[in-house]
Amino acid sequence: MCRSSAGQLVAILPLYLWRGRPLRVVRLVGHHVGDQLGPICRASDRHAVSEALAAALARFDADVFVGEHLPGDEEWGALLGAKVLKRDASPTLRVDGASWDDFLASCSSNLRSQIRVRERRLARKHDIRFRLTESRDELENDLDTLFALHRLRWDGEETTFAKYEAFHRDFAACALDRGWLRLWFLEIDDQPRAAWYGFRFAGVQSYYQAGRDPAWDRSSVGSVVLMHSIRDAFADGLSEYRFLRGDEPYKYRFATSDQGVETIGLARGLASRAALAAADMARRSRVLKEVISP
Distance, in Å, from the CA atom of 107 to the CA atom of 169, rounded to the nearest integer, reads 36
Query: Do 72 and 49 lie in a common domain?
Result: yes
Same domain, 132 and 237: yes
Domain count, the chain: 2
pLDDT value at 64 more than 50: yes
Question: Could you tell me which residues are beta bridge partners of residue 91?
Answer: 258
Whether 74 and 122 map to the same domain: the answer is: no
Residue 294 pLDDT greater than 70, yes or no:
no
Instruction: Give residue-wise pLDDT tens across range 225-284.
Output: 999 999 999 999 999 999 999 999 999 999 999 999 999 999 877 667 766 776 665 454
* 3-state class (DSSP) for residue 67: strand
Same-domain check for residues 7 and 23? yes
Distances (CA, A) of 13 to 37, 56, 133, 141: 10, 9, 32, 35
For residue 210, list its beta bridge partners. Answer: 196
Residues 127-142 have pLDDT tens digits of 999 999 999 999 999 9
pLDDT at 32: 81
Residues 28 and 156 in one domain: no
Residue 34, Cβ density class (10 Å: 0-12 exposed, 13-18 middle, ≥19 buried): middle
**What CATH number corresponds to the domain at position 161?**
3.40.630.30
pLDDT band at 82 (very low <50, low <70, confident <90, very high): very high
**Whether 46 and 100 share a structural domain:** no
Report pLDDT digits (tens) over 157-208: 889 999 999 999 999 999 999 999 999 999 999 999 999 999 999 999 999 9
Looking at residue 282, which CATH number applies to its domain? 3.40.630
Do 15 and 35 sit in the same domain of this protein?
yes
User: How far apart are alpha carbons 164 and 10 in whole angstroms?
Assistant: 31
39-46's contacts with Cβ under 8 Å and 24+ in sequence apart are 39/11, 39/12, 39/13, 39/14, 39/76, 40/11, 40/12, 40/13, 40/14, 41/2, 41/10, 41/11, 41/12, 42/10, 43/74, 45/10, 45/11, 46/74, 46/75, 46/76, 46/79
- Taking residue 59's Cβ as centre, other Cβ atoms within 10 Å add up to 8
| Cα–chain center distance at 214 | 24
Q: How far apart are CA 276 and CA 107, in angstroms?
A: 44
Mean pLDDT score, 207-216 = 97
Structure-model confidence comparison of residues 287 and 199, the more confident one: 199
**What is the reported pLDDT for 85?**
87
Fill in the DSSP letter of residue 267.
E
Same domain, 45 and 157: no
Distances (CA, A) of 137 to 140, 190, 288: 7, 18, 43
Mean of all residue pLDDT scores within the chain: 91
Hey, which residues does 56 pair with through a beta bridge? none
Q: Residue range 100-107: average pLDDT? A: 94
Query: Do residue 161 and residue 186 come from a single domain?
Result: yes
Which stretches within 126-180 are classed as H helix? Answer: 136-153, 160-163, 165-178
Same domain, 100 and 175: yes
For residue 69, give the 3-state DSSP assignment. strand
Domain extent for 173? 92-257
Residues 134 and 234 in one domain: yes
Rounded percentage of the chain residues whose pLDDT exceeds 70: 92
Residues 46 and 147 in one domain: no
Instruction: Judge if the upstream peptide bond of residue 192 is cis by omega within 30 degrees of 0.
Output: no
Angle between helices 165-178 and 136-153 (to 10 degrees): 140
